[in-house]
Amino acid sequence: MRRHVPLALCFIAGVFMAIQYFIPHPSVQAWYERLLAWLQTLLAFAFLIGTVSLVRLHAHKIGHKVAGRGYSWVLFVGLGLMVGFGFKGRAPGSPFDFMFQNVQVPIEGTMFSLLAFYIASAAFRAFRARTLEATLLLLAATIVMLGRVPVGDLLHRSIPAATDWILNVPNMASKRGIMIGVGLGMMATALKIMLGIERAWMGGTD
């Protein structure tokens, strides 16, 4: 029940979804459409498991008086406000939309923009042309960085031309190779999961 039933369900669902691609029969396609809808529902519920875990973690912090628990209260206030506003209405201009546009969007955007500063710091401190490979990487990066901004077009017309060549020849060749390799890996992993060889998704020790 604990191991064999889930593995059997995984196998049946996986094999069905794989072979339906080759069977245009209406009854098979009808079940395929049904199962697609079920997978959507499962994904929606699975996504919200993260929210439940988040609430449990911060409730534990507050309950056990862990240092910094004041910020957990901030988190719960934000969560509560959004859920409360959301139930009242989600139209543009509503309090729900106001919080999204003026709290979530700017904070998330700003957090990711911090990376620009760190990449500059790393450029100075860590990017070293110690080996041939590293030198090639830095050279290619420099040409592309210059070629993809207007000042590169102004400096010399060969810079954007070199950038285009790098993108369309060596970059394309290597990315194509990686794409093929990853595609084969994806299929192998999918088969391993369906056949029960890969069982990490089950978790647990039983």
* Residues between 67 and 126 that touch other proteins (CB under 8 A): 68, 71-72, 74-83, 86-87, 90, 92-93, 96-117, 119-121, 123-125
82 within 8 A of 96, measured Cβ to Cβ: yes
Please, which residue, 66 or 141, has the CB nearer to other proteins?
Answer: 141
Q: Which of residues 131-170 bind other proteins (CB under 8 A)?
A: 133-134, 136-146, 148-154, 160, 164, 166-170
Size of the site for other proteins (CB under 8 A): 144
On whether the CB atoms of residues 88 and 82 are closer than 8 A, the answer is: no
Q: Which is nearer to other proteins, 56 or 66 (CB)?
A: 56
Q: Does 129 bind other proteins (CB under 8 A)?
A: yes
Q: Which one of residues 23, 59, 186, 197 is an interface residue with other proteins (CB under 8 A)?
A: 186
**Segment 15-74, which members bind other proteins (CB under 8 A)?**
15-18, 21-22, 29, 33-52, 54, 56, 68, 71-72, 74
